[in-house]
């Protein structure tokens, strides 16, 4: 016979004291650290403990007794349920302050290296509607809010298109209005939902792997072009006919979509890297521009999702690189070669390395598109490509620019950089914690001379950081 779980307590009148990682805030009760989402320092709240360990707990604020002077009014009706834009309740100036502190804490606590005075964080010009890419999932299992559950209403239709609920992989929150992109995302998503419900199209069941409508991806660009990729799960002629009818409807109703694409995905996951994307109408790609450069962006291409702020980020990286035109530059984790092509005019040669072969093909296309003949691109696992032999063949770089994924750089890559011994390293990071770990590994040979945080994602806890290292 199993033992009954002891009910977790409710704590009353608890002061929220600080901001923690992953967008959560902190309260302390009797030496117990409690992590709470959707509240801000200065709030006094009642907490329902949801999970308790020896040294910490996770809780939900069930009542706010006193609002903090720091608190801002969230602008999205889905705030608190969606899981995105968790910092809407913080004024943007406070978001920037906490992000600056997050970078400083990570570099000092984890890196434990000597640092110069950090530059003030570069805030984003736009704090809403700043993204150029969004993805929405379809599901026949709509997530019901606590208010909807409490109402006792029986919902006849449980189809939804929107964002996955954190911790509930097969549930989708039905999104009526999203402020992350301009209004085209709302018009398209709501238009597709209305058509699907009116014509009896089935929404995907992740557990059963059934249903026609699976995913939609939307891209926009500074050139005014719009890409819509519909991801279907077509298992027969009837499914294909329904999908084509929807695409015809979208083509007629939304003529501003310049690239209307679709893919048939019958796999267990939503990834499309190994699938053929079909063009239904328009072009199979769109163009993005930056400082006179054009970048061809396809459905599988990686491109920074905040275009305007990406320009600011790349300007920082280029400035830190201090190129004169004579340098051999290695651009590690180059993606579609955006940084490589961005700095190529100020360098003698740029060598870019990236894991994804399709991205490297994009990088080559973008170099040719911009008349750049001093770039070389290689595809493969960084630790396998960036070897002593590779460096000896291509020459030891004067400058290395590295922009790794959130996990940071593999130890073998760090060792290869130390062997290459460039006089300068520019380290662009989307995760200051793993950046700090890597800086500690480089510290014997390199000193940090500049630190510049950049905010790419307003209303979230995420922050980019650029560090310049000079050879000792």
Sequence-distant (6+) residues with CB within 8 A of 191 are 250, 253, 254
Q: Tell which residue, 59, 94, 87, has the closest CA to residue 73.
A: 87
Higher pLDDT, 167 or 46: 46
pLDDT of 232 over the 70 cut? yes
pLDDT of 137 over the 80 cut? yes
pLDDT of 249 over the 60 cut? yes
Sorting pLDDT into bands at 50, 70 and 90, what band is 1? very low
Phi, psi values for residue 110, rounded to 5°: -90, -45
What mean pLDDT is reported for the chain? 94
Sorting pLDDT into bands at 50, 70 and 90, what band is 156? confident
Is residue 37 within 8 Å of 84, Cβ to Cβ? no
Q: pLDDT > 70: what percent of the chain?
A: 99
pLDDT for the residue 460:
95
pLDDT for the residue 441:
97
82 has catalytic annotation: no
Instruction: Considering the candidates 82, 85, 430, 468, report the single residue annotated as catalytic.
Output: 430
Q: Domains of the chain by range and CATH?
A: 10-71 (2.40.50.140), 94-127+306-471 (3.40.50.150), 133-290 (2.40.50.1070)
**Residue 82: CA count within 13 A, CB half-sphere:** 25
pLDDT for the residue 204:
96
- For range 297-307, the mean pLDDT: 91
Tens digit of each residue's pLDDT (9 = 90 or more) over 97-109: 999 999 999 999 9
pLDDT of 344 over the 70 cut? yes
pLDDT of 305 over the 80 cut? yes
Sorting pLDDT into bands at 50, 70 and 90, what band is 5? low
Distances (CA, A) of 319 to 302, 315, 327, 450: 23, 6, 14, 11
- For range 309-315, the mean pLDDT: 97
The rounded distance, in Å, linking the Cα atoms of 350 and 344 is 6
Tens digit of each residue's pLDDT (9 = 90 or more) over 392-424: 999 999 999 999 999 999 999 999 999 999 999
pLDDT of 360 over the 90 cut? yes
Q: Tell which residue, 258, 275, 252, has the closest CA to residue 218.
A: 258
């Amino acid at each position: 016979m199993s033992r009954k779980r002891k009910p977790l307590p409710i704590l009353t009148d608890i002061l929220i004291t600080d901001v923690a990682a992953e967008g959560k805030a902190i309260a302390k009760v009797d030496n117990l650290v409690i992590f709470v989402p959707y509240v801000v320092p200065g709030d006094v709240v009642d907490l329902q403990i949801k999970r308790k360990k020896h040294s910490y707990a996770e809780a939900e604020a069930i009542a706010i007794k006193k609002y903090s002077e720091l608190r801002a009014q969230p602008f999205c009706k889905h705030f608190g349920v969606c899981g995105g834009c968790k910092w809407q309740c913080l004024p943007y100036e406070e978001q920037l302050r906490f992000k600056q502190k997050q970078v400083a804490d990570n570099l000092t606590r984890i890196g434990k290296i000597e640092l110069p005075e950090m530059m003030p964080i570069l805030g984003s010009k736009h704090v809403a509607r700043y993204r150029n890419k969004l993805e929405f999932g379809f599901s026949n299992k709509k997530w019901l809010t606590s208010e909807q559950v409490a109402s006792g209403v029986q919902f006849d239709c449980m189809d939804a298109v929107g964002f996955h609920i954190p911790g509930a992989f097969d549930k989708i929150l039905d999104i009526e209005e999203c402020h992350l992109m301009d209004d085209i995302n709302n018009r398209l998503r709501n238009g597709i939902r209305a058509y699907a419900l009116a014509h009896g199209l089935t929404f995907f069941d992740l557990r059963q792997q059934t249903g026609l409508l699976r995913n939609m991806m939307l891209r926009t660009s500074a050139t005014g072009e719009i890409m819509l990729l519909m991801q279907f799960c077509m298992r027969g002629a009837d499914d294909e006919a329904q999908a084509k009818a929807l695409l015809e409807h979208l083509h007629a109703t939304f003529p501003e979509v310049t690239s209307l694409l679709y893919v048939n995905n019958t796999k267990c996951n939503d990834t499309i890297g190994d699938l053929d994307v079909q063009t239904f109408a328009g072009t199979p790609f769109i163009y993005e521009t930056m400082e006179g450069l054009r970048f061809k962006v396809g459905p599988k291409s990686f491109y920074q999702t905040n275009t305007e702020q990406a320009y600011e980020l790349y300007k920082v990286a280029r400035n830190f690189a201090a190129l004169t035109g004579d340098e051999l530059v290695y651009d590690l984790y180059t993606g579609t070669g955006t940084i490589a092509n961005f700095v190529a005019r100020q360098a003698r040669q740029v060598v870019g390395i990236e894991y994804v072969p399709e991205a490297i093909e994009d990088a080559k296309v973008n170099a040719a598109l911009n008349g750049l003949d001093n770039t070389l691109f290689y595809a493969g696992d960084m630790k396998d490509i960036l070897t002593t032999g590779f460096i000896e063949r291509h020459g030891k770089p004067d400058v290395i620019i590295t922009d790794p994924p959130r996990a940071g750089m593999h130890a073998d890559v760090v060792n290869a950089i130390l062997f290459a011994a460039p006089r300068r390293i520019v380290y662009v990071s989307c995760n200051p914690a793993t950046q700090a770990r890597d800086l500690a590994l480089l510290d014997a040979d390199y000193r940090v001379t500049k630190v510049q945080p950049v905010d790419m994602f307003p209303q979230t806890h995420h922050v980019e950081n650029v560090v310049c290292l000079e050879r000792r």
